[in-house]
Structure 1
């Protein structure tokens, strides 16, 4: 099997805290056409990829989504070595890490009445604390981190579709531009963060307040400010330099977060502009607006 064939196998490892939504994420991947497996022992990953590679037909990409977590005893011990091995062999591997707050996780376990994998040996909060410690290294090397605390099932499925659905060139870095509102918290998955709260705020213009940065009247108000023009010019220089550096380091997924106060006007308009800019440079790009619907 050639290295080029291996690169056509898109493998996403779904991991993270128990109760964070890994099963929901797996179903979302399956809806996107991924072949899904729950709780695959990490030591079997190289052999599994070798077997699946034999089913590639007409040089078409193969998409795999595999859930791995603390339920499998060997995962914590062997994940680093195994992941490095498959990457060295030429496979395209991405790690998706899901998390949530203790308060939310306790509520979810209470509703489902399912025991935590570590809970039979200790109280639930202690189990969650231990699991965070065990998975800290995995989270550190994850390509994508999603906090599902404020996401329902449908929102998480939409997140998966937005982030992983559009991939075309697996050999290229995917740049994800996210607009958000600081009042709702900074996206934990952000690699680069731009604060655009210094720009004039359309919220204080009565005719613009009900609209969003996706609409021409708000977009024009934001983009035509002198401060915005200077900011975009500087951002272009900054990103033109940084994005290739991240790809050179082997990163496959880069999150650029752009925040204003509510995540409805300025950050949305700027995210759209930067998304178009990065796409014109030839990078695979997606743009999403996390908090667009939260503030009327």
Structure 2
């Protein structure tokens, strides 16, 4: 916990994103949203200081929001004031970082042609290339004073995401992936939202032990029954090996949310114990993990119904004996 607090404290509270149109500003804002920033796109530069003031005066859960704002040439006449506005904020003691995204002219032209969108500086009928040259001249000073410049010419989106996370999220990239591990019972339906599903119905079932049947995988006797078996120990070793291969791949691809389903027959014993164990393993590897049990309440409700039925049968049997 202390490590996470330290890492979050190192993230800048205010980031201004600017740069060439088509260089990846939209993708950059998606990254900042995933990092927990409050993002504003296409904000006139004259409103930057006011946004900071409002943010500082507003109470939010967990403190002030971190802000990420895109200011670019779409602002038209307002954009020319950005350099002066940044200087004024610096003189007023406002702390911020600027990120400038750039790319080669031919790559920007190709991106605009493929998207069929109009360049913001081509409103008077000029060519895309002419619009790009106008924009470069307009942004020259901002590029020189930027804290970070990223050239996205040869970058795939996932590489841009990982580069931004490396600059602004100083902790492990693994903490950028939110993992949910949940247990479920196949008899209640297969999961629809899982990215990765592990079926553990091949393991011996505690359900057939009368003493373990009313318990769950959260209880030590069931957990020991499931995990202390030789076949489970071998399975977990291979399961961890698989996770060690696929999890870094998800991180490298820039995936932000991952759901792992662990299923048994009823979602009460084996899947619960092994979902908890899987969550613990991933936490030990530095991932942000939450564990849930989709069908545990259904199993508990079924036992309540069974107990009521048994009580009725016992009462009838007792009545018959008395008669």
Structure 1 length as normaliser, TM-score? 0.51
| 1:36 and 2:55 matched | no
CA distances 1:101-120 after superposition (whole Å, capped 9, x unpaired): 01111110111110100123
Q: Is the 8 A contact 1:9 1:91 kept in 2?
A: no
Matched position secondary structure for 1:39: coil
Q: Is the 8 A contact 2:11 2:170 kept in 1?
A: no
| 1:12 and 2:15 matched | yes
CA distances 1:235-276 after superposition (whole Å, capped 9, x unpaired): xxxxxxxxxxxxxxxxxxxxxxxxxxxxxxxxxxxxxxxxxx
Cα distance in 2 for residues equivalent to 1:89 and 1:56: 22
Note closer, same or farther for the CA distance 1:163–1:9 as it changes in structure 2 (3 Å cut). Answer: closer
Q: Is the 8 A contact 2:42 2:71 kept in 1?
A: yes
Q: Which residue of 2 aligns with 1:71?
A: 74
CA distances 1:174-219 after superposition (whole Å, capped 9, x unpaired): xxxxxxxxxxxxxxxxxxxxxxxxxxxxxxxxxxxxxxxxxxxxxx
RMSD: 2.1
Q: Which residue of 2 aligns with 1:193?
A: none
Q: Which residue of 1 aligns with 2:99?
A: 96
| 1:115 and 2:118 matched | yes
Judge which range, 123-132 or 70-79, deviates more.
70-79
Q: Which has the higher helix share?
A: 2
Q: Return 5+ residue gaps in structure 2 as ranges.
A: 1-9, 172-323
Matched position secondary structure for 2:74: coil
* Structure 1 outlier segments of 4+, above 6 Å: none
Matches within 5 A, 1:54-203: 54-57=57-60, 60=63, 62-121=65-124, 122-166=126-170
Of 23, 27, 32, the residue aligned with 1:24 is 27
Q: Is the 8 A contact 1:9 1:53 kept in 2?
A: no
Structure with larger Rg:
2
Note closer, same or farther for the CA distance 1:59–1:88 as it changes in structure 2 (3 Å cut). Answer: farther
